[in-house]
Amino acid sequence: MATAALAREVIDSAGRKVEVPDRIERVMAAGPPASVLIYMLAPEKMIGWNLKPREDELPYLAPIVRDLPEIGRLTGRGNTANLETVMNAKPGIILDFGSVNATYVSLADRVENQTRIPYLLIDGRFENTATALRLLGSVLGVEERAQRLAARAEAILNEVAAVARSIPEAQHPRVYLARRPNGLETGNRGSINTEIIERAGGVNVVDAGRDGGGLLNASLEQVIQWNPDTMITTDRNFAEQVATTQAWANVAAVQRHRVFLSPSLPYGWIDAPPSLNRILGLQWLARLFFPDRYPIDIRAETREFYKLFYHVELTEVQIDRLLERGQMT
């Protein structure tokens, strides 16, 4: 832990009082959502990746981070970073971005107590995006950049919300999120995996009868019964095969040629991970759902978003690659 003379107290999103160094040059992400947040806000302060980027992801990332080592993750399934690794990496702080429930508070407290490294929890909900950026920008000493990103994120969130509110509920698309090659892993209504669909004005057809929820496995019979008129998939194999798979032929989304594959480089536009990468995905979805009411130039928005948030100037070929898979059936 930083000494009192060189530290200041920060209250994180969980209400924890954390002493952080006055100057922070090295930051460790506890998991992928935090990694995206740190990269977008202060890539020069990253000490490594939770999972090293794939070869096809690297051109969509700034050169400064492409060769950083893989250091593992502290949160989620398959956590791979042990505390010795964390201490050897010598981060000034550890950051987690996402849920701030009791499970994550307990993990943060335990890691902080054992390593003596300040551990911040920042709320990753959509509505907290601007607050999260400004809080971390203040902690890392990059307030000006944080303000620019926060202002743009706020503008996108507000304009999409205004469009969704202006359209009668009966005209909102009924949407199913199809994950995995079989398309049968999905997200419950209100989950972190589908909140982007709901915020863009889609009605998630999956309601498992519990609050929030998360990922779940559906049966094809259930999907047919829900009969969504629009499907968003994160899996290329499913997108390419669904139109010619007889079992899916009676689903309205397939019949209407409204199965869309979300862009995914360097991160998914829907989730994977559920971080700031979803802000552009929100625009993409709103344009798909309400093309007459939200007729943005998605190529121009993509170019500007990647320049501002990802620190890269995209070529026309790169934009083509991102958007070529938009409508698959």
The CATH architecture of the domain made up of 153-323 is: 3-Layer(aba) Sandwich (3.40)
pLDDT, mean of residues 230-238: 96
Per-residue pLDDT at 229: 98
Residue 186: what pLDDT?
96
> What pLDDT, in 10s, does the model give residues 283-322?
999 999 999 999 999 999 999 999 999 999 999 999 999 9
> What is the CB-side half-sphere exposure of residue 48 using CA atoms within 13 A?
17
Residues with Cβ < 8 Å from 276, sequence gap 6 or more?
36, 37, 40, 129, 133, 149, 153, 309
**Residue 211 pLDDT:** 56
Of the pLDDT bands very low, low, confident and very high (cuts 50, 70, 90), residue 7 is: confident
Pairing of strands 119-123, 185-187: unpaired
For range 89-99, the mean pLDDT: 95
**Helix extents (H) in the chain:** 32-41, 63-66, 83-89, 102-115, 129-140, 143-166, 195-199, 220-226, 236-241, 252-255, 278-289, 298-309, 316-323
**What is the model's pLDDT at position 106?**
96
pLDDT band at 325 (very low <50, low <70, confident <90, very high): low
For residue 175, give the nearest of 130, 206, 144, 149 by alpha carbon. 206
Across the range 128-152, mean pLDDT stands at: 97
- Report residue 22 as tokens: 């006055």
* pTM > 0.85: yes or no: yes
Q: Angle of helix 298-309 relative to helix 143-166, nearest 10 degrees? A: 150
The whole-number pLDDT of residue 119 equals 98
Q: Which residue has the higher pLDDT, 168 or 83?
A: 168
pLDDT > 70 in the chain, percent: 95
| pLDDT of amino acid 210 | 61
Cα–Cα distance, 274 to 279 (Å, whole number): 10
Q: Is the pLDDT of residue 157 over 70?
A: yes
Task: Reduce the DSSP state of residue 166 to 3 states and report it.
Answer: helix
Stretch 180-184: mean pLDDT: 97
Q: Is 200 exposed, middle or buried (0-12, 13-18, 19+ CB in 10 A)?
A: buried
What is the pLDDT, as a whole number, of residue 4? 44
CA dihedral 328, 186, 77, 209 (to 10 degrees): 160
Architecture of the domain whose range is 4-141: 3-Layer(aba) Sandwich (3.40)
Domain ranges within the chain, ordered by starting residue? 4-141, 153-323
Average pLDDT over residues 142-171: 98
Domains 4-141 and 153-323 share a fold: yes
Average pLDDT, the chain: 93
Cα–Cα distance measured from residue 105 to residue 102, given in angstroms and rounded to the nearest whole number: 5
